[in-house]
């Protein structure tokens, strides 16, 4: 769960770095996203839009990813089910 939060925060920061998109070429931006994805051992999808310049860029833009807000319900249900089976303790920090 902590990993999901960490990934969300990093992705949130990346999405607000549109100025980086404006000043950087696409290859460098793709390298940075790939590095972040590899270091987190996660799948990341990013889409940036700069309407003033009619520019857009995406990384894995053709793939679908679960929305965090709708995903939380299932993550909590899975966690509670594991707790009921005594596979995980809720009072333990991971």
Q: Which residues are catalytic?
A: 69
Give me the residues paired with residue 84 across strands. Answer: none
Residue 77 in contact with residue 70, Cβ under 8 Å? no
Given CA atoms 24, 27, 30, 31 in this order, what sign does their dihedral have?
Answer: negative
Note the helical H segments in 1-94. Answer: 2-15, 18-23, 26-40, 68-84
Q: Can you read off the two tokens belonging to residue 61?
A: 């833009």
């Amino acid at each position: 769960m902590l990993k999901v939060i960490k990934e969300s925060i990093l992705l949130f920061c990346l999405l607000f770095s549109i100025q980086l998109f404006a000043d950087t070429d696409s290859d460098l931006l793709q390298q940075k996203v790939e590095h972040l994805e590899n270091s987190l051992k996660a799948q990341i999808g990013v889409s940036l839009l700069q309407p003033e310049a009619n520019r857009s860029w995406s990384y894995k833009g053709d793939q679908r990813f679960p929305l965090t807000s709708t995903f939380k319900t299932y993550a909590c249900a899975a966690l509670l089910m594991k707790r009921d089976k005594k596979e995980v303790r809720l009072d333990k920090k991971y």
